[in-house]
Amino acid sequence: MLQLAVALSGLLLPPTVELVYGNKQVLIKMRTFFENGTIYHGRYAAAFETCTNMVINDGLIEYLGNDAGRRIPHLSNGERVQKVDLKGRSVFPAFIDAHMHLLQFGASLVKVGLDDCRNLDEIRDTISKAAKRNPDGQRILCRGWRQPSTNRKALASMIDDIDPRPIFIDADDLHSEWCSSSALREMGITRDSPDPVDGVIHRDKDGNPTGLISEGAVFSMVWPHLIGKMSKADKMGCFGEAIKEYHASGYTSVIEMAMDQGSWDLIEDMHKRGQLGLRVAAHWIILPTGDSAGALDQVQKAIDTHTIYNLQNSPDFRIAGIKMILDGVVDSCTAALSEPYLVPPHRVGDMNWDEDIVREVAAKANAAGLQIALHAIGDAAVHLAINTLEELGASGQRHRIEHLELTRPEDAKRLGKLGITASVQPVHSDPSILGAWPELVGRERCDWAFAHRDFQEHGAQLAIGTDSPTAPHLPFPNLYVANTRLSARDPHYHSRINQRQPLDMHQVFGAATWGAAYSCFADKELGSLDIGKKADFILVDGLSHDFDAKSLLQAQISETWMNGQQVYSS
């Protein structure tokens, strides 16, 4: 006897029809036919072409057009077809976050958010209320502190009386940590603790730590400490929450920008158990050790892991390359500039790395076929990053520079020629968070900040990401800032950081999908809706068909599909 049952089997498998002959099970792939939609192919250069029908077969796009019934005769016999009436809704390729931090993002979902606090009183009040709501927690973890809100002051004594438990406050850019005295004690940081090579434990005139930890000291002291305090179950929970939140926000793929062994072990475990549910291409973080041997050892670790997990043998879970953080951020005056900051002590901001070691690390990674991602925010760091990649020659490896916040006009022109991807996070250029910039770097340098359009016009491939959790991970506000250079955080904030022309709407959608896919060599399978590509797409409500920028702030993800399977529905 024949039993017929539609089984929406494992999370990422395509829908199947389960036929049982006697006691023998046979699974037959099933088509899904989407009709009555406005389906945007999302091909990068072709603006916004649409069609109304899409057919998915075995997780891949089998047909796109307006006449699926006639073109695919099998659709008419009906028995192996699941029909979805899109009712006029818009369909786009799923987003790919070209730069993010998966574990930190998951952990941030449970931290106390200080994003909206404008001054110390509001910060104290928010922490104190959160502490009372959670009397059993062992420490109080906060995120989203914007340094200008406390005039860049961060003393333990400003928060010590709120609660005796250790208080850890992440700056919104993650490059500084504001700690209470009990937090410093818990980490064992005292006047005798030396500064790491690329970071600072800020101290008073007697050498005692004041509570502010910055740059490499955050990555080598605070992060490992806090991650060490999390159980394996906590961390798995963080990854799980991060994945759920990314699906809900319309992403099916991410490029993780600071992978380390601890996170890799956990995520590999999830991958092996089939629980990952997100395509991950990771860049292994190389931390300065003060010598080239220590850095090259870390590159070797990335190479070894890449041998097992690479584009060819594991396209959805792999090591794409390495990442080096060349400098810091403008707000804490740690981005490396070629001319000094305009505020005391009028320094230029140090490079985190010795230039020779950067070259050695890049050469080793390049020779092993890894992609190189260089974090460079200040113009001196950007210049070093471009020179380093230029010296490697035309490798075709799609090396990339992350952030590019202050790029001199002559350097902006070099990226395209050298095949360097401009990996940008428009959400960092939201003018409402850049109020301190004119005072820190002056008007002239603000004029060439965030020159995304210049990169694009001079032939660089753009990849848009969010750098979450240093900034909100949501795609549409990010695209709004990219297209308007106005604030998505504060719609009443009307000034811009400069008058540079923004990216066109089709460019911002393209850079957040196809461009991000291209940046990690996934463009043959993902990033646009084309026949033969993987069926990763989103259904969107609230976006006006003429792509009025304001409607980006109202747009909602109503469904996310991956491999032809729905992974999120609102």
Question: Which residues bind to Zn ion, rule: CB under 5 A?
Answer: 257, 467
Q: Minimum CB separation from Zn ion for residue 452, in Å?
A: 17
Shortest Cβ 86–Zn ion spacing (Å): 35
Give min distance, CB of 470 to Zn ion, in A.
6
Phi, psi of 369 (to 5 degrees): 80, 15
Q: Note whether 465 and 452 are within 8 A (CB).
A: no
In whole angstroms, the minimum distance from the beta carbon of 400 to Zn ion comes to 12
| CA distance linking residue 214 with residue 221, whole number of Å | 10
In whole angstroms, give the CA distance from residue 341 to residue 252. 40
The Cα 8–Cα 565 span in angstroms is: 8
If you count DSSP H runs as helices and E runs as strands, how many of each does the chain have, helices first?
Answer: 20, 27
Residue 55 or 257: the one with the smaller Cβ distance to Zn ion is 257
20: enclosing H helix or E strand: strand 16-21
Among 180, 166, 168, 256, residue whose Cα is nearest residue 211: 180
What is the SS3 string spanning 324-367? Answer: EECCCCCCCCCCCCCCCCCCCCCCCCCCCCCHHHHHHHHHHHHH
| Shortest Cβ 57–Zn ion spacing (Å) | 37
Neighbours of 23 (CB within 10 A): 5
Q: What is the rounded distance in angstroms from the CA atom of residue 349 to the CA atom of residue 357?
A: 18
Quick one: 257 or 330, whose CB is closer to Zn ion? 257
Nearer to Zn ion, 35 or 467 (CB): 467
- In the complex with Zn ion, the residue whose CB is nearer, 141 or 285, is 285
- Pick the closer one to Zn ion by CB: 159 or 286: 286
Closest approach, Cβ 402 to Zn ion, in A, equals 7
Residue with Cβ nearer Zn ion (163 or 256):
256
Nearest to Zn ion of 467, 525 (CB atom): 467
Query: Which whole-number Å values give the CA distances from 501 to 13, 456, 475, in the listed order?
Result: 43, 11, 21
Residue with tokens 């319309």: 250
Q: How far apart are CA 280 and CA 96, in angstroms?
A: 10
Minimum CB separation of residue 342 from Zn ion in Å reads 26
Task: State in angstroms the smallest separation of the CB of 220 from Zn ion.
Answer: 16
Give whichever of 376 and 555 is closer to Zn ion, judged by the CB atom. 376
- Tell me the residue nearest to Zn ion as measured from the CB: 467
**CA nearest neighbour of 100 among 230, 228, 296, 249:** 249
